[in-house]
Amino acid sequence: MNAGPLAGIRILEVGVMLAGPYATMLLADLGAEVIKIEPPGGEISRQVRDSYFASLNRNKQSICIDLRSEEGQRQLAELAAKSHALLVNMKPSAIRRLGLTYDALRQYNEKIVCVALTGFGLDGGDDPAFDYVIQAATGVAAMTGDPDGPPTLPGYSAADNSTGLTAALGLVSQIVSGRGGQVDVSLRDVMFSQLNYHAAAYLNDGIEPQRHPNGAHSFYVPAQLFPTADGYLALFITHDGFWKSFAGEAGISGFETMAERSAKRDEVLAVVIAALATDTAKNWEARLRPLGIPSAAVRSLPDALEATPEVVVSAGEFRLVASPIRVSGYEPEYRPAPAFDEHAHSYSTVTESVSGTP
């Protein structure tokens, strides 16, 4: 088996809960050596539940360092001198106080890349910034849910996970540049970025995003969830070719262009709802998929995982979702998340120089 694409890269993580640990786990899955620096008592997410911690911290090493102490700062300096990057997610004042910025660490290693994940940016202040708060603050919650109901949040940590992915990209990009430096990634900025076409429609055309029933798309029709004879079906018709194939299978005539379907949204939805009511969601999926029409029956997470066993891997005693990044010729080992301070005994080897020049 080939070494991972990030083999030989050493990353220090001072991570809390989700966004930071998720970013470094993805990098560890790709072969990076990730050293998780935990405070006395352990990183707080160890208190949530074992499976939570396992899902964000596999393939890492754990050492306990009290960064508030003089000795802890000495240990941090030694590690930084022999590492390629450091990633931290805390409030800005804590990041600076603990010496986790490029300005603080460049004296030990000019080429180290320091990535800060915060709510509003390193210069954005210390206001509390959790996933749900950011979704509310950036307009995501306001555009989600039924138009006659309250604002709604998705059932998973969209802001945290997206920011973790973005931070991992920023970290690798700066390492590839060959220059050290500070990378600043905030939950707020990432969520605005992910509202791309909605934001552009408002900024350029004055179009405010509207909530539609059943999560309908703002521009494409029909593209939403539909009730069927049994269960709900997600149908996503974007262009006229998809519509022609669907209409033929469903026995619908007319509405041949995207512009007409958009202009006559209510009429289109009425005929589609009537057609889909004649069969079950799973049967419609089986009928439409061979035609190349984007569609899927709505499944619960347990049903979806059972139907897709290839995405599940074992890491020690835990069954987890595999890395979403597949690299030809490389298969991650999926080692379990480390016990607290598990690698303290090998601290001397942890601080040996990695291959290449950090």
Q: How far apart are CA 330 and CA 311, in angstroms?
A: 16
Q: How far apart are CA 68 and CA 231, in angstroms?
A: 55
Q: Collapsing DSSP states into helix, strand and coil, what is residue 160?
A: helix
Task: Order the strands of the 85-89 sheet from edge to edge.
Answer: 60-64, 33-38, 10-14, 85-89, 113-118, 181-186
146 is catalytic: no
What is the CB neighbour count within 10 angstroms for residue 33?
20
Q: Collapsing DSSP states into helix, strand and coil, what is residue 317?
A: coil
Q: How far apart are CA 41 and CA 193, in angstroms?
A: 36
First to last CA, the chain: 25
What is the CB neighbour count within 10 angstroms for residue 197?
10
Q: Collapsing DSSP states into helix, strand and coil, what is residue 196?
A: helix
Kindly name the residue from 29, 131, 160, 189 that is annotated as catalytic.
160
Q: How far apart are CA 318 and CA 340, in angstroms?
A: 17
Look up residue 266 and give its two tokens.
Answer: 């209510």
What is the CB neighbour count within 10 angstroms for residue 84?
25
How long, in residues, is the chain? Answer: 358
Active-site annotation, residues: 160
